[in-house]
C-alpha cells in the first residue's frame, strides 16, 4: 500500500483499512511492513549501499594509510554523496510507517528532488565525524596503554552519533526547517525521548557492529539486508516521537481530505 512497485496498483480498500483500524505494534507491525513493503525497502537500500560505497572505501583506505586529513576529507565527500540516497531510503520507510499510498519509484524520485540539497550539509558533517571516528578506531590499537575510558567514549560516541543522524535526516525528509533548527531538534529528541533513543541506538550499533567486525564476510548480508533492516527497526522505535513532535498523522489526514475535496469539486464542475 505505502510503497508499491509502479507496475502494482495501489489498493484503495487497503488504504481505507489502514486509516480505520488500529495499527499493530511491535513485532507484528514490523512483519506487517515486511509483508507489504519489503521489495521497495530492498530497492531503496541497494541504492543506499551504492551511495555509501565510495565514501566507505575512501575512509577505509585513508584510515589504513594513517592519514587524518585524508580520512576527514574522505568522510565529508562520502557524506555528500551518500546523504541524498540515505534520505531517499528514509522517505521510503517513513511513508510505509505512515501507511501512505503511492508508487515507489515516483515517490522516491520526488523525495530525491525535494531533499537532496537540504541533505548535503548534514551529510558532509556526519561523514566528517564518521571519518574521525574511523581514524581513531584504526589508530588506537597501535598505541600502548590506551585507557578503557577511551574505548568507552568511542562506543558511546558512535552510539549517539548514529541516533543523532537518524533524528537529523528524518527531519530533512519530514519537515522544512533551518539546519540550525534540525540540529537543535535532534538534540532535544535524543534527550526528551531517551528510552526510544537508547533502544534505536542499540539496534543500529549492534547491527553495524556485527557487519563491520566481520567484513568482508558480511558483504553478502549487507547486500541483502543493507540499510533497510536496521533503519526500519530504528525508525519504528522513534516514529511515535516524530509524530508527537510534528503531528505527522494529522498533517497527512488533512492533506488527504483536501485532495478528496478538490477531486469532488472538480468532478462537480465537470458534471455541470
pLDDT recorded at residue 17: 39
pLDDT recorded at residue 262: 63
168 or 260: whose pLDDT is higher?
168
Q: What is the mean pLDDT of residues 234-247?
A: 92
Could you read off the pLDDT of 47-74 as tens digits, one per residue?
Answer: 999 999 999 999 999 999 999 999 999 9
State whether the Cα torsion 130-136-141-145 is positive or negative.
negative
Reported confidence tier of residue 144, pLDDT bands at 50, 70, 90: confident
State whether the Cα torsion 63-61-76-134 is positive or negative.
negative
Q: What is the mean pLDDT of residues 12-21?
A: 39
Please report whether residue 5 resides in a domain.
no
- Distance separating alpha carbons of residues 77 and 125, to the nearest angstrom: 10
- Distance separating alpha carbons of residues 176 and 121, to the nearest angstrom: 15
Domain that holds residue 244: 12-271
Please report whether residue 4 resides in a domain.
no
Could you read off the pLDDT of 175-189 as tens digits, one per residue?
Answer: 889 999 999 999 999
Alpha helices by DSSP H, listed for the chain, are: 12-20, 26-64, 68-97, 104-139, 148-174, 179-192, 194-213, 219-225, 228-246, 248-271
- Domain count within the chain: 1
- Decide if 236 contacts 29 (C-beta within 8 A): yes
- Distance separating alpha carbons of residues 178 and 83, to the nearest angstrom: 17
Q: What is the mean pLDDT of residues 148-155?
A: 92
Q: What is the mean pLDDT of residues 206-214?
A: 92
* Low-confidence winner among 11-20, 42-51, 138-147 (lowest mean pLDDT): 11-20
Please report whether residue 2 resides in a domain.
no
Amino acid at each position: 500500500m505505502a510503497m508499491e512497485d509502479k507496475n502494482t496498483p495501489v489498493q484503495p480498500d487497503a488504504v481505507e483499512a489502514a486509516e480505520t483500524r488500529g495499527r499493530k505494534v511491535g513485532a507484528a507491525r514490523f512483519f506487517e511492513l515486511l509483508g507489504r513493503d519489503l521489495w521497495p525497502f530492498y530497492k531503496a537500500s541497494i541504492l543506499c549501499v551504492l551511495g555509501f560505497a565510495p565514501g566507505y572505501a575512501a575512509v577505509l583506505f585513508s584510515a589504513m594509510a594513517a592519514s587524518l586529513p585524508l580520512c576527514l576529507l574522505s568522510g565529508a565527500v562520502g557524506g555528500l554523496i551518500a546523504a541524498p540516497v540515505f534520505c531517499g531510503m528514509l522517505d521510503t520507510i517513513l511513508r510505509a510507517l505512515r501507511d501512505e499510498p503511492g508508487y515507489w519509484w515516483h515517490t522516491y524520485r520526488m523525495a530525491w528532488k525535494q531533499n537532496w540539497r537540504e541533505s548535503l550539509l548534514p551529510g558532509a558533517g556526519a561523514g566528517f565525524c564518521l571519518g574521525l571516528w574511523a581514524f581513531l578506531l584504526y589508530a588506537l590499537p597501535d598505541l600502548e596503554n590506551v585507557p578503557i575510558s577511551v574505548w568507552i567514549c568511542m562506543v558511546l560516541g558512535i552510539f549517539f552519533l548514529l541516533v543523532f543522524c537518524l533524528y537529523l535526516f528524518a527531519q530533512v525528509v519530514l519537515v522544512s526547517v533551518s539546519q540550525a533548527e534540525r540540529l537543535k531538534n535532534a538534540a532535544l529528541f535524543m534527550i526528551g525521548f531517551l528510552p526510544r533513543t537508547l533502544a534505536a541506538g542499540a539496534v543500529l550499533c549492534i547491527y553495524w557492529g556485527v557487519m563491520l567486525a566481520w567484513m568482508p564476510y558480511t558483504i553478502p548480508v549487507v547486500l541483502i539486508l543493507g540499510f533497510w533492516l536496521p533503519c526500519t527497526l530504528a525508525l519504528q522505535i522513534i516514529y511515535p516521537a516524530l509524530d508527537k513532535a510534528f503531528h505527522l498523522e494529522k498533517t497527512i489526514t488533512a492533506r488527504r481530505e483536501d485532495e478528496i475535496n478538490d477531486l469532488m469539486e472538480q468532478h462537480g464542475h465537470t458534471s455541470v
